[in-house]
Amino acid sequence: MSLKLPMYMDHAATTPCDPRVVEAMLPYFTETFGNPGSRNHSFGWESEEAVDKARRQVADLIGADRKEIVFTSGSTESNNIAIKGAANMYQKAPAGSGECRGHIITANIEHKAVLDPCKRLQKEGFEVTYLEPGPDGVFTKEMVENAMRDDTILVTLLWANNEIGTVNEIPEIGKLCHDKGVIFHTDATQWVGKMPTDVNEANVDLLSLSGHKMYGPKGVGALYVRRRRPRVRLVPITEGGGQERGYRSGTLNVTGIVGLGAAAEIAKNEMAADADRLLKFRNKMETEITKQLDTVQINGHADRRLPHMTNISFGFVEGESLMMACKDIAMSSGSACTSASLEPSYVLKGLGIGDDLAHSSLRLSFGRWTTEEEVDYAIKTIVEAVNKLRVLSPLYDMHKEGIDISKIEWAAH
Ligand SMILES: Cc1ncc(COP(=O)(O)O)c(C=O)c1O
């Protein structure tokens, strides 16, 4: 079978919608289009029934009760509702009192959808500790325990990191938080739908998930809000019609929610097989690339990583040239575009990786329809591109001659 180019290897950015999901959604655009909030006619009841079914499907995926699911527009909104809502509910001192309103623990390599709400809360009188990872990128219970204070009210940490796929010690950190009476939120956007999740076993109080990372539609997600032991309450960040227990006012995105529910059910049934298959691809890619090229580095913990993605740094190549040379493969680089320049990824920098190596890093993430043939093509393309670029690199020549590049004193003119 011939390969279809360009090929998609960026499933951590977003996934295609599963055709079964699209099929489930279609009737809700034109036939069953009622507002689930319309309580006095059958159009509304039918939509409400569809939303209820989806709520059960999402709850089943994460071991929750369906009453604990709040539908949102995605993980960014879920994170904002959870973090700002919990901080304001469990504050130790009121706004404007001049006292610390409460202490929050997060990490400096979280997604911006966690970091920015935390920064906002800092401006509003909360104190935030940003944990720094070791070179393996994993956050442990011990790290969180060491940062706990008497006035800690909230811990928010990724379940799995979106750039390097590292998996934090979520059940252990959750247990610690429960023992200390601290609310625990996890942004599980990259984890849920890929790996088995049980909010009770993991001692999670608040969990964010997103449809478009698990073969569902974009613009829909959910927040899990624990109702028992402890019963978590949040101050809403938006006000209006009071939908979703008042936590997320606004007419429900019924088609999106139906799609999220269908995606959740498919994921529950198929994630184990997907993960097994994709882990083999990832291992093949990492083995082949490290065998065929020197001076490459796999980023993040060797084992505590999501099975379907890898993040690799290539020494002695320029990141943008590498991406250009691999145009047929849709993947992410270790550079983030800001308005004026290319910034090295703050996640990779957070692991202690230098700017050059961060720039020349690639994140490849496989998905439900990735084939071995595609993986083989990607390996070949990347290896050839790196070899070609290194032929042009005097620094690589010097490195091959045994010169330690970091010790060179460059003449300034
Ligand atoms: C870890 C993580 N959190 C949050 C988000 C944002 O999710 P959404 O696009 O659903 O708002 C993403 C998506 O890139 C993510 O990877």
Mutation pick for ligand 1 pocket among 75, 308, 311, 346 (CB with most ligand atoms within 8 Å): 75
- Domain's final residue, options 267, 294, 311: 267
**Ligand 1 centroid from CA 400, angstroms:** 41
pLDDT at 370 over 70: yes
pTM exceeds 0.95: yes
Atom 11, ligand 1: which residue's CA is nearest? Answer: 76
200 and 317 part of one domain: no
- Domain's final residue, options 267, 289, 320: 267
Mutation pick for ligand 1 pocket among 81, 111, 192, 223 (CB with most ligand atoms within 8 Å): 111
pLDDT band at 91 (very low <50, low <70, confident <90, very high): very high
pLDDT at 404 over 90: no
Range of the domain at 93: 19-267
Atom 2, ligand 1: which residue's CA is nearest? Answer: 189
107 and 254 part of one domain: yes
Atom 16, ligand 1: which residue's CA is nearest? Answer: 162
Which ligand 1 atom is at minimum distance from the Cα of 210? 10
Which ligand 1 atom is at minimum distance from the Cα of 79? 4
pLDDT at 339 over 70: no
Give pLDDT tens digits for 107-137.
Answer: 999 999 999 999 999 999 999 999 999 999 9
Other CB atoms within 10 Å distance of the CB of residue 120: 14
Give pLDDT tens digits for 200-221.
Answer: 999 999 999 999 999 999 999 9
**Ligand 1 centroid from CA 75, angstroms:** 5
**Catalytic pick from 100, 118, 177, 337?**
337
Q: How many structural domains is the chain composed of?
A: 2
Give pLDDT tens digits for 275-326.
Answer: 999 999 999 999 999 999 999 999 999 999 999 999 999 999 988 899 999 9
**Residue 198 belongs to a domain:** yes
361 and 319 part of one domain: yes
256 and 322 part of one domain: no
pLDDT at 1 over 70: no
Place of tokens 């994170």: 79
pLDDT at 340 over 90: no
Catalytic residue status for 337: yes
Q: How far is CA 268 from CA 61, 63, 197, 261, in A?
A: 6, 11, 10, 11
Mutation pick for ligand 1 pocket among 83, 114, 189, 195 (CB with most ligand atoms within 8 Å): 189
pLDDT band at 335 (very low <50, low <70, confident <90, very high): confident
> Which domain CATH number covers 26?
3.40.640.10
- Ligand 1: which residues within 6 Å by Cβ? 74-76, 111, 113, 158, 162, 187, 189-190, 210, 221
Which ligand 1 atom is at minimum distance from the Cα of 161? 1
232 and 326 part of one domain: no
244 and 392 part of one domain: no
- Domain's final residue, options 267, 300, 327: 267
**Ligand 1 centroid from CA 83, angstroms:** 15
**Ligand 1 centroid from CA 55, angstroms:** 20
145 and 174 part of one domain: yes
